[in-house]
Amino acid sequence: MGPRIIGWGKAVPARGLTNADMERMVETSNNWIVERTGIRKRYWAGPNESASVIGAEAARMAIKRAGISPTDIDLIILTTMTPDKTSPATASIIQRKIGAKRAATFDLWAACPGFVYGLATAYNFIRTGAFRTILVIGSEILSRIIDQKDRRVCVLFGDGAGAVVVQASAEAKDDPSNFVLGCDSDHADVLFVRGPFDVAEEAGPPGEYFTVMQGPEVFKQAVRVMSKAGQELLGKMNWKLSDVDVVIPHQANKRILDATGKALGVPPEKVYCNIDRYGNTSSATIPIAICDAVDEGRLKPGDNVLLLAFGAGLTYAAMALRWDPPPAPSSA
């Protein structure tokens, strides 16, 4: 028995903001944003939307596509930097919202690579036989940890959620060496979010726990660590670049995606990008991209998929998958 993804889903808040909307908020322009980031739209949560609200919505879609009941879920892993509360885990709140009463729950904090960390964790739980059916969700409300008056940062980030159901299957084509997880903490100061629990001189002012980013350095380190992780994983898997059908990277910046693909030697047409529609949604970018890539026919049964991500810490991750979902249930 090996792990395979049997369901997937996504959700975004109701409020969408185009670059024209951003022009009315801060001193910027559509051309500047598109040329430097590739972003044309992002979604920001309203007062009644949270990581658990949109995370539960994405989870329901994934559960429906999987053709299972919420009570079939053994474990919920939520990856987020923006939990509803400091405690309990937001995964526990989602458990109640979706009725997954049997499921164990925990939140996983690994910044933008969090979803890949969570997916690798789910795969290994299933390999050991500890659990049979696991729900992995990436859900972020980044609009609440950015200074919406900072034109360098606020145009980049959006809110959203994506989820997958992973289940043990006798038909799964599995390789336990299919992931690389790492952290280069020497560069942890190029991207971080202030918080209330740090030493006094580093903590953010109350109500201003905002993202701090050194843009040029983030660009350089992102390309370095994602290409390094991808090369290491291809070596572990004994894959050639020609074996990869589609690369789904963390959607941080179109120029980062292009540069990473070039560093790896991957043809541009194999690198999936949907950042223009959502902005950077941190750990939600990859599961949202999986959903869109399937809908667009860019991700097809039998494809070899390479997931790549980086984030604050400086954490990074790569994971290789054989996309081989079961046929959709009639109710999906």
Is 48 labeled as catalytic in the residue annotation? no
Q: Is 324 helix (H, G, I), strand (E, B) or coil?
A: coil
| CB contact set of 61 (below 8 Å; sequence gap of 6+) | 8, 9, 10, 11, 163
Catalytic residue among 19, 112, 273, 291: 112
Q: Which of 241, 329, 245, 243 lies closest to 293 in space, CA to CA?
A: 245
Respond yes or no: is residue 112 known to be catalytic: yes
Is 183 an annotated catalytic residue? no
DSSP, collapsed to helix, strand or coil, labels residue 320 as: strand
97: its two tokens: 């919202």
Marked catalytic residue, from 19, 178, 187, 250? 250
Residue 291 token pair: 């959903």
Q: What is d(CA 230, CA 225) in angstroms, rounded to the nearest whole number? A: 8
Q: Are strands 211-213 and 315-323 parallel, antiparallel or unpaired?
A: unpaired
The amino acid at 310 = F
- For residue 76 the two structure tokens come to 């919920």
The set of catalytic residues is: 112, 250, 280
